[in-house]
Every structure is written in structure tokens, then in C-alpha cells.
């Protein structure tokens, strides 16, 4: 049987499109079971809050649970390694931050390559950094803090979410640029560090925030300068 050229081209185009259609159908079926979202810091910090917000939104939109799992430690490296070792099937996601980028230079002998073993999906937030102090701390501005720190070297406790965390790196940069000496007190995450700051156990923290700059809630508990 002789097949007209136009019909042949239509059939060939349809055959070529079948693999793509199959992939699209599989993608539309995702997810068919709950998805884990691994966070490298404890509950209550910025990374955890964002993961829970986006997880709830994805659960409502896609009809499957996106379950947040906190794996703090080593500046987020434990969480990253857990995701790298998980099956590459899209059901184990990693909530990352700037710490994951600079951990490459801060930690030797990592068991994974962040740039090779992790595939980015989407950018979901930006977290500006702010300087916060306990209300009882006798400073009212950044120049006040610098002067007080120089008059009391090594006597001001600076909290962070752990070695290599954003709070730690920001604090060390501040110390380097101003020539002050503050004692670094690492916690297992930004949440516990902020809790101790509010309780007056530490005096200073270079925190990241998730609220819009126009928000005024929570300012009665601590003083912050941008």
C-alpha cells in the first residue's frame, strides 16, 4: 500500500512525540506518595519556617503530604548528605541556604559534592540579615555596639545557628570589618539561638528574617538595626 507523503509525515511526527507525551504523563502523576523535605536546622529557624510554609502550599496544590524533617548539624551538611544518599526519585527534597554554598570551603573532606550531587529546582525565598540585641543590652546603635565591644573585648556573647551558619559568617564578617572581639556561642540552629537571646543568655545575634520589612510584629521582644 502506498502511503501519501503528508500522512507519513503526520505519523512520523506523532511517533516522535510519544516519548515526550509519556514523560509529561509521568510528571503529571507526581507525587503519588508523601514527599520528605529535609531541613538542616532545628524547628523554629528561618529555613524551617520557609520549608513548612512551602510544604503546606505544595500539599494543598498537589494533593500529597510534603513532610518537613529536621536534621540539624554540621552547618547543614548532615541534611545535604542525607538527601544525596536518598534515591533520586524526587521524593526527598533539600531546603538549602547560603550556608550550603560556602560549606564547600569551610569543611574539608565532605562525603558529597554539593554542585555535582544536588540539582536545583526553584528559588523560594530571600532572607535578609539583621543585627539583633537583647533589650537590656546597653547599646542603641551599631556605633554603640562597636564602642562597647572594644571597651569589653571577649565579654559579649554572639549567638549563631552553628559553625558555618549564616549567623556565624555574618558575625565573623562584622568582627573582621570593625576589629571587635566577641565570643561566638554556636547553637544547633537559629531557633534555639534566638530563644536564648530573648531570654538574655546571650547579647548579640546576626540573624536572618523571614517577615517582610514592613512587618512590625515581634519588635517588643528585641531590638534590631538594619
Same domain, 147 and 204: yes
Beta strand pairing call for 157-160 and 92-95? unpaired
DSSP codes, 92-142: EEEE--HHHHHHHHHSSS-SS-HHHH-----------EEEEE-TTSS--SH
User: What band does 22 get if pLDDT is binned at 50, 70 and 90?
Assistant: very low
CATH of residue 104's domain is 3.40.190.150
Residue 53 in any domain: the answer is yes
User: What band does 25 get if pLDDT is binned at 50, 70 and 90?
Assistant: very low
The rounded percent of the chain whose pLDDT value lies above 90 is 53
Residue 124 in any domain: the answer is no
Q: Comparing 223 with 188, which gets the higher pLDDT?
A: 188
User: pLDDT tens across 184-199, in order?
Assistant: 999 988 888 999 999 9
Domain boundary pick from 59, 88, 117: 117
pTM attached to this predicted model: 0.66
Beta bridge partners of 157: 183
Same domain, 89 and 164: no
Mean pLDDT of the chain: 82
Residue 140 in any domain: the answer is yes
> Which of these, 193, 168, 190, lies nearest to 39 by C-alpha position?
190
Provide the domain count of the chain: 2
CATH of residue 197's domain is 3.40.190.10
What sign does the dihedral 68-69-73-76 (CA atoms) show? negative
* Burial class, 159, CB count within 10 angstroms (exposed 0-12 / middle 13-18 / buried 19+): buried
Same domain, 175 and 110: no
**Could you tell me the residue range of the domain that residue 215 belongs to?**
129-225
- Is 60 exceeded by the pLDDT of residue 101? yes
CA 143 to chain centre: 30
Amino acid at each position: 500500500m502506498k502511503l501519501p507523503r503528508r500522512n507519513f509525515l503526520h505519523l512520523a511526527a506523532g511517533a516522535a512525540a510519544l516519548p515526550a507525551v509519556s514523560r509529561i504523563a509521568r510528571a503529571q502523576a507526581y507525587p503519588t506518595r508523601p514527599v520528605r523535605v529535609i531541613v538542616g536546622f532545628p524547628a523554629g529557624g528561618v529555613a524551617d519556617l520557609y520549608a513548612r510554609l512551602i510544604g503546606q502550599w505544595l500539599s494543598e496544590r498537589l494533593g500529597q503530604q510534603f513532610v518537613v524533617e529536621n536534621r540539624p548539624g554540621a552547618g547543614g551538611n548532615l541534611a545535604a548528605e542525607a538527601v544525596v544518599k536518598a534515591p533520586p526519585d524526587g521524593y526527598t527534597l533539600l531546603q538549602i541556604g547560603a550556608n550550603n554554598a560556602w560549606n564547600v570551603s569551610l569543611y574539608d573532606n565532605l562525603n558529597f559534592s554539593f554542585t555535582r550531587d544536588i540539582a536545583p529546582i526553584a528559588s523560594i525565598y530571600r532572607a535578609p540579615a539583621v543585627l539583633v540585641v537583647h533589650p537590656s543590652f546597653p547599646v542603641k546603635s551599631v556605633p554603640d555596639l562597636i564602642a562597647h565591644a572594644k571597651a569589653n573585648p571577649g565579654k559579649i556573647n554572639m549567638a549563631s545557628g552553628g559553625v558555618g551558619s549564616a549567623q556565624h559568617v555574618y558575625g565573623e564578617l562584622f568582627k573582621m570589618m570593625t576589629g571587635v572581639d566577641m565570643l561566638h556561642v554556636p547553637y544547633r540552629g537559629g531557633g534555639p539561638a534566638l530563644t536564648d537571646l530573648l531570654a538574655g543568655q546571650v547579647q548579640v545575634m546576626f540573624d536572618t528574617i523571614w517577615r517582610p520589612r514592613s512587618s512590625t510584629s515581634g519588635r517588643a521582644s528585641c531590638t534590631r538595626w538594619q
